[in-house]
Structure 1
Amino acid sequence: MNIQKLIYKNSYDGKGMNTIPIQLKILDNNENRMYLIHKALKQQLKNNRKRNAHSKTRSEVRGGGKKPWKQKGTGRARAGSNRSPLWRGGGVIFGPKNKQYKSKINKKEKRLAINTALANKFANTVVIKEILPNITIPSTKIAIAEIKKYGIQIEENKKYLIIVHQKTKMLHLSLRNIRNIELIEAHSINILCLLKTDIIIMTKDALKLIK
Structure 2
Amino acid sequence: MASSATAPNSLSFFSSSLFLSSSHQIPKTYISVAKPSSGRVSKPLSVAAQLATLPIFSFEGERVGETYLDLKTAPEETARAVVHRAIVNDLQNKRRGTASTLTRGEVRGGGIKPYAQKKTGNARRGSQRTPLRPGGGVVFGPKPRDWSIKINRKEKRLAISTAISSAASSEGGAIVVEEFGDRFEKPKTKDFLAAMKRWGLDPKEKAMFLMIDVEENVAKSGRNIGTLRMLTPRTLNLFDILNSDKLVLTPAAVEFLNARYGVDSEIDEEDEDDAEGAEEPAE
TMscore range, shorter length: 0.7 to 0.9
SS, match of residue 25 in structure 1: strand
Deviation by residue 1:53-73 (Cα, 9 ceiling, x = unmatched):
3579xxxxxxxxxxxxxxxxx
Asked if 2 retains the 8 angstrom alpha-carbon contact of 1:129 and 1:204, the reply is yes
Correspondent of 2:153 among 100, 107, 112: 107
Out of 90, 108, 125, the residue aligned to residue 174 of structure 2 is: 125
> Aligned pairs, how many?
180
Equivalent residue for 2:196?
147
- Residue 236 of structure 2 is aligned to residue 189 of structure 1: yes
> Is contact 2:186-2:217 (8 Å) kept?
yes
| Gap runs ≥5 in structure 1 | 57-83
Alpha-carbon offset, residue 163 of structure 1: 1.0
The structure-2 alpha-carbon separation of the partners of 1:95 and 1:162, relative to structure 1 and needing over 3 Å to count, comes to same
Name the Cα RMSD after superposition.
Answer: 2.8
CA distance in 2 between counterparts of 1:169 and 1:54 reads 41
**Structure 1 contact 163–202 (Cα < 8 Å) conserved:** yes
**Is the Cα contact below 8 Å between 2:69 and 2:165 reproduced in 1?**
no
Higher helix proportion: 1
Q: Which has the higher contact order (CA 8 A, sep 6+)?
A: 1
TM-score by length of 2: 0.56
Counterpart for residue 169 of structure 1: 216
> Residue 51 of structure 1 aligns to which amino acid in structure 2?
G
Output the TM-score relative to the length of structure 1.
Answer: 0.73
Is 1:34 aligned to 2:80, yes or no? yes
Q: Deviations over 1:140-164 (max 9, x none)?
A: 11111222232x23242x2111111
Counterpart amino acid of residue 176 in structure 2: V
Letter in 2 for 1:153: L
Matched with 1:24 is 71
Task: Show structure 2 runs of 5+ residues with no match.
Answer: 1-46, 110-136, 259-283
State the 1:37 CA deviation.
0.5
Secondary structure of the residue that 1:116 maps to in structure 2?
helix
Listed as ranges, the matches of 1:11-90 within 5 Å are 11-13=57-59, 14-27=61-74, 29-54=75-100, 88=109
Task: Give the match's secondary structure for 2:234.
Answer: helix
Describe the superposition over 1:96-148 as per-residue Cα deviations: whole angstroms up to 9, x where unpaired: 55445211111111111111111111131111112342434321111112222
SS at match of 2:179: coil
